[in-house]
Structure 1
């Protein structure tokens, strides 16, 4: 019997449903073909790869080409290395593309999971950008070592060979077939986000947990383009030393992308006053490369930045509780008393003097130390003293 509901009998309804289904199939097929073409193009290094997934309203990408984006602000999740259960780690990616063509400056944070100042610094810079008034693109990757950030730990917790904590800043540019998830994730971020797009880069860090540091850079000042960017920040110190080749900044430099490592003080918490210095410097860098217009803000000339080419350290010889006698940025001389150490009875077990003349660049914030623990780092000018590894 015919149905009068909605004015359609069953035959009419089936014809309409069939037609709608056919149209839907055609639309899905066309979209699928477009996705396939986009994926093929992206894999060839010619476009952004959309995986088809959406997380919290944000499209998921497996590769990025800022050239195929419209001017404006774009938020993506980047599909990184897989987790144990098969899901992926995802990184927050923000692209602010100007109305006019120009250079691409990459801003990165979260290579270490206890570094909160850098994330807030980049967020603040992004909030100040107006795409309609920009020439070029800012690419931000904010939480690179996502599992380390989740646990507020400096190193990536890896379970490939039991459980170990791996410093991601010893693995750049990574390896597609690397021996752990860290190196593979580094390869993905480096080759699918940063290297294809960036003309310049700033990789923001802080001191390690248990330490505090001045507002400073780790930068290769023999590179003229790196030096030009580094001097635009109104900060305290610059350590003129490239350090390890596996640092993200150095891996980028090896690819012809000038980069440096700004270090924004302490880990784990926000220092808004210090963050403001690095926001000001970053905006200066964007002006330098023509992304935004306007007069330069304060620079290293205004802050009388101290540039050192060597770093020394005071290292505990005993276990116990440490009383530091010097502060960040203090000038010290060889033989100057810098710390007193006591045991649980309150007896003095050691008194420490500075082994070098220079400025205090970092100091331990935890009062307890074990033998072999570095508790003060000094920045030195023109010294032949062996360089200590700085815990960037």
Structure 2
């Protein structure tokens, strides 16, 4: 019998339940939706979670489409799923947990006696640490972003090559291979000996069908490559970036982009112009390096010093 929260599944069975994370402000219990798929055959354990950031919904869309297609009698191994990790942020449609104004994906491995966010991290990490592989489904918040997978352990980490291989198998087409901030699940998982990646499934307000489709394919790629399901994976070369340059605007106004997501740029390529409301150009911003346009702000108005876009640099293929 495999358990996650109240979900219980014998070999060849699936169950849906709840994972307790504490009390709400009215004293009622707060739980996360979880699922256990206990395969009929023996094999690895995969942990998947979505909505670590409450406004990043594409991962939830992936689970909505993946889980109904899975038959535990055809699975070898176990799949543990937390469908919505950041309960409070998800309910409010916000990025951070509004109870303590904290980003969940900066608090792993968490603290069961800590803040609201630390308690969520501790309870979900208990489940994740039982796995052999971890997928933490994200998106580029509500900005516009390419579909990519992030390897966050750093190139000197003992599990780097395994994490990079997991990212390649997922197969979004782009990989950001750059050490991430402390407290990220994709940092802490490898420290515990578990290959972990952070698929960033585009960027959208609500669902983006193409990014969800890529995420669904990525999950099935992982399930087949690591022998949870029968099948073969045609691994494609991925475009990998080791650096990440962010560009802000030195002036306020209206952004007019000269480049598209995924476009290759060279040094001095014009990325965007800023105009006043009458169309007069106030400034023009160019790329410092060669790379790929990785992310763009969605709303045209910008204040002085505000973020506008990012370019992935130090590009190769893997």
Hey, what's the Cα distance between the residues in 1 that align with 2:125 and 2:171? 29
Matched, 1:205 2:142: no
Deviation at 1:74, TM superposition (A): 0.5
Structure 1 residues 221 and 243: CA distance shift in structure 2, 3 A = closer
Q: Residue 228 of structure 1 aligns with which residue?
A: 165
1:240–1:307 CA contact under 8 A, matched in 2: yes
1:114–1:267 CA contact under 8 A, matched in 2: no
Deviation digits for residues 249-297 of structure 1 (CA, Å, limit 9, x no counterpart): 211111111100001001332222222222222212112221111122x
User: Unaligned stretches of 5+ in structure 2?
Assistant: none
Q: Residue 111 of structure 2 aligns with which residue?
A: 175
After superposition, where does 1:359-370 map in structure 2 within 5 Å? Answer: 359-370=292-303
Deviation at 1:300, TM superposition (A): 3.2
After superposition, where does 1:363-382 map in structure 2 within 5 Å? Answer: 363-381=296-314
Q: Residue 277 of structure 1 aligns with which residue?
A: 214
Deviation at 1:139, TM superposition (A): 1.0
**Larger relative contact order (Cα-Cα within 8 Å, sequence gap ≥ 6):** 2
- Bigger Cα Rg: 1
Q: Residue 187 of structure 1 aligns with which residue?
A: 122
Hey, what's the Cα distance between the residues in 1 that align with 2:315 and 2:84? 36
Deviation at 1:326, TM superposition (A): 0.5
Q: Residue 240 of structure 1 aligns with which residue?
A: 177
3-state DSSP of counterpart to 1:349: strand
Structure 1 residues 221 and 176: CA distance shift in structure 2, 3 A = closer
3-state DSSP of counterpart to 1:231: helix
After superposition, where does 1:305-384 map in structure 2 within 5 Å? Answer: 305-381=238-314
Question: If each structure's helix is expressed as a fraction of its own residues, which one has the higher value?
Answer: 1
Q: Residue 253 of structure 1 aligns with which residue?
A: 190
Deviation digits for residues 367-392 of structure 1 (CA, Å, limit 9, x no counterpart): 11112222111111169xxxxxxxxx
Q: Residue 3 of structure 1 aligns with which residue?
A: none
Aligned residues: 311
Q: Residue 62 of structure 2 aligns with which residue?
A: 121
Deviation digits for residues 185-209 of structure 1 (CA, Å, limit 9, x no counterpart): 2112212x222x2111100100122
Of 200, 214, 223, which residue of structure 2 is paired with 1:286? 223
Deviation at 1:121, TM superposition (A): 0.9
1:81–1:188 CA contact under 8 A, matched in 2: no
Q: Give the structure-1-normalised TM-score.
A: 0.75
Question: If each structure's strand is expressed as a fraction of its own residues, which one has the higher value?
Answer: 2
Deviation at 1:155, TM superposition (A): 0.9
After superposition, where does 1:66-77 map in structure 2 within 5 Å? Answer: 69-77=10-18
Hey, what's the Cα distance between the residues in 1 that align with 2:65 and 2:225? 19
Hey, what's the Cα distance between the residues in 2 that align with 1:235 and 1:190? 25
Deviation at 1:176, TM superposition (A): 2.1
Structure 1 residues 47 and 139: CA distance shift in structure 2, 3 A = closer
Hey, what's the Cα distance between the residues in 1 that align with 2:172 and 2:308? 22
